[in-house]
Structure 1
Amino acid sequence: MGKTVRHAARATLQLGFAAFMAFGTIIFITVLLITAIGAVTVIGIWLVPETVLLIRRIAGAKRQQTAVWTGTPIPEAYLPLTGPLRKRLRTAVRDPGTLADLIWMVAHYAYGFLLAPALLLWPVGLAVDGVRCGLLHRTPWVLPLIGRLADLDARWSTALLKPGPKAQLAERVEELTATRAGAIAAHGAELRRIERDLHDGTQARLVSLSMRIGLARRAYDQDPEAARGLLADAQDQAEEALTELRHVVRGIHPPILTDRGLAGAVRALAAGSGLDVTVRVHGLEDGTEPGARAPAAVEAAAYFVVAEALTNAAKHSGAERAAVDLLREPAGLRVTVRDTGRGGADQRGGSGLLGMRRRVAALDGTFALTSPAGGPTVIDVELPCVW
């Protein structure tokens, strides 16, 4: 009996919240009318995206309340309302998620009032069930009915608020658009870096090399010793130019990945980082067996994530130790880098973390940063791929 009463009490709160939102819908109808009039007269056109945001908050509150009752969260799929007014208006009108929320509000306005009278069953149920349990020793029936009504409200809300295929597709398209923009920005930044390295380093050394060879040719007949000295300098310049070219190539795709695989390349990074780094590899080994290696783009992204993370840990965090985990999963590759530094890393404060996020997003991966003040800093990356 006690368990039934407690369940009925929770169900009553669930139904009470539904009734409260139904009454609130009456007030919100006034907001919708004001927004519609403002949109028609153009004077209050700016109210449309603000009203849509309010609708999303109301639907979000219902999703959260339903998830508490059922134990299963209801996902949401909305297009972001950002940018200038024209763009926000276009998004507000075309967003399938907003249309679904409006349909739910209309339906909830109807069935919310139908469920509200069930609140009166609570005191009646206590009295009737008390008599039945005390005199006739029969199972209570009124209080479980309240629970079934609360379950009905949760099922209806879940069915109406769950994003449909159009909303999910629209959200996915928006996500891919943002990812493509980030990938283009990252690609442009990489091209500028390569151009800068070639112009400031390799090109300057090649020009100096050409000049020294020309001077050596002129001095060869009259001053062979000076010519030999110039040729020796030219050889040094050629070697330095080759070093610069290797540096540029390494920035595009590190040759060590081809030679040693991702596991070996990461161990080499750890050895040269200046930190006490523990590398744990699961399912990759050395990457030489057939089918054990990820695609080259995925390996390069994972390598640069580890390289940037260890560089940041050594330069900025004050860490002495770090750990790198490479895990082969059925759907892709997971990379986790943890350091024992002071924490407080913020991807808005530097290009390194932003570059990592863009590189990962370009491959449709996920990037998560956790860095509370005092540490530790944890970077967790998932890169989808087919093995």
Structure 2
Amino acid sequence: MGKTVRQAARATAHLSKGVAMAFGTYLFVVVLEITTIGTVFVIGAWMLPEAVLLVRRIAGAKRRQVAGWSGRGIAEAYRPLDGLPLRERFVAAVRDPGTLRDLRWMVAHYGYGLLGLLAVPLWIVGLPVDGVRCGLLRRRAVVLPLIGRLADLDARWSAALLKPSPKALLTERVEELAETRAGVIAAHEAELRRIERDLHDGTQARLVSLSMRIGLAKRAYDREGGGDPEAARALLAQAQDQAEEALTELRLVVRGIHPPILTDRGLAGAVRALAASSGLEVALDVEELATGPRAPAAVEAAAYFLVAEALTNAAKHSGSERAQVRLARAPYGLTVFVRDEGKGGADEADGTGLLGMRRRIAALDGTARVSSPAGGPTVVEAELPYAW
């Protein structure tokens, strides 16, 4: 019976918030009509987008409230209003299907949101009066669960009114994919430029020098009077050294595309090698990935490069001697966590490579977050979705 009372109390709290929000939305609609419709059009045009943003916040609060009660979130899909000129903001606010949907919910919620007022008489009926306990348990068992059903009803109606249409979700997804595609193209172009620069400045220069050394050695052998074998040998030895250096640089370029160590050791082993060569004291938690099925090659490469970039930045810029790396399986894919206790202040715009890593992860429909307040710590987290 105690569980019934606690559930009824939780439902009452949910309904009470709904009642407060219902009265708040009523006052908001009245103020909106007075200020927007009753004022000069230019002022109203300026205020309407701001009012729409406020409506979105109110609807967002209701979505969070429903998610807290039911455990199921409600998606949202809106056209962006920030950063647009006044005219475009006004047009976007008016034409956004989410605006009409939210206003429709506000009007309806002013009616069904007052269902919470019924919780008070239900509590009175369900609890003892003047200490009389006759029939108390029976009344509680019958009456108090009704409060929970009222909360369920409020959540279902709110979810039905606030969820975006399939067309709105599709439009948002298309815009998201277009943005991701642009980021992938930019990341790909940057990667091609890096590879071209590495080949031009390093490997190509060494191969040109190698060709010159071989040419000089050939001339030394062909010189009149029997040639100069010792000079030719010295030149060939230099050419051999340069050939080995060119091969080393080619391996580095290839490793930047897809590290061979990932193929040989898997993601767990590759991250262990990164930690060992980082110059930091790294606390590793990758044992979960040492056994079981491996992630797709593209996912492993994205996770590897993210850890490599984060550890490199920590070693070069953070001033910290310690870092923490954790990779784990999740129901939806792979999670990556890197933290250092350095001075913080990492900024993607400063060329730290984090922007490129974010784009690489976005190409796989993943997400990356960087938190680096002044004074530290710096935390890099990523979620890479795929099916195990």
- TM-score over 0.5 for the pair: yes
Corresponding residue of 2:129: 133
**Equivalent residue in structure 1 for 2:248, among 240, 243, 247:** 243
Change (3 A) 1:255 1:66: closer
Are 1:311 and 2:312 an aligned pair?
yes
Structure 2 CA distance for aligned equivalents of residues 234 and 246 of structure 1: 18
1:332-377 deviation digits (Å, cap 9, x = unpaired): 2222223333334343444322222111111111213334444433
Say whether the 8 Å CA contact 2:25–2:106 is kept in structure 1: no
Alignment of 1:208-357 (within 5 A): 208-222=209-223, 223-224=227-228, 225-285=230-290, 292-357=293-358
One-letter identity of the residue aligned with 1:133: V
Say whether the 8 Å CA contact 2:22–2:110 is kept in structure 1: no
Unaligned 5+ runs, structure 2: none
RMSD of the alignment, in Å? 4.0
Structure 2 CA distance for aligned equivalents of residues 384 and 369 of structure 1: 18
Post-superposition shift, 1:207? 1.7
Say whether the 8 Å CA contact 1:96–1:167 is kept in structure 2: yes
Post-superposition shift, 1:314? 1.1
Corresponding residue of 1:78: 78
1:167-219 deviation digits (Å, cap 9, x = unpaired): 33333222222222211111111111111111111111122222222233233
One-letter identity of the residue aligned with 2:164: P
1:292-322 deviation digits (Å, cap 9, x = unpaired): 2221111111110111111111111122222
Structure 2 CA distance for aligned equivalents of residues 260 and 282 of structure 1: 13
Structure 1 CA distance for aligned equivalents of residues 65 and 378 of structure 2: 33
Post-superposition shift, 1:100? 1.4
Change (3 A) 1:148 1:67: same
Say whether the 8 Å CA contact 1:281–1:326 is kept in structure 2: yes
One-letter identity of the residue aligned with 1:379: V
Change (3 A) 1:385 1:24: closer
SS of residue paired to 1:21: helix
Post-superposition shift, 1:13? 6.3
Structure 2 CA distance for aligned equivalents of residues 184 and 109 of structure 1: 48
Structure 2 CA distance for aligned equivalents of residues 273 and 181 of structure 1: 32
One-letter identity of the residue aligned with 1:56: R
Structure 1 CA distance for aligned equivalents of residues 157 and 374 of structure 2: 44
- What is the TM-score normalised by the length of structure 2? 0.77
One-letter identity of the residue aligned with 1:26: V
Structure 2 CA distance for aligned equivalents of residues 153 and 201 of structure 1: 67
Post-superposition shift, 1:101? 1.1
SS of residue paired to 2:278: coil
Structure 1 CA distance for aligned equivalents of residues 48 and 62 of structure 2: 21
Q: How many residues align?
A: 370
Corresponding residue of 2:26: 22
Change (3 A) 1:278 1:57: closer
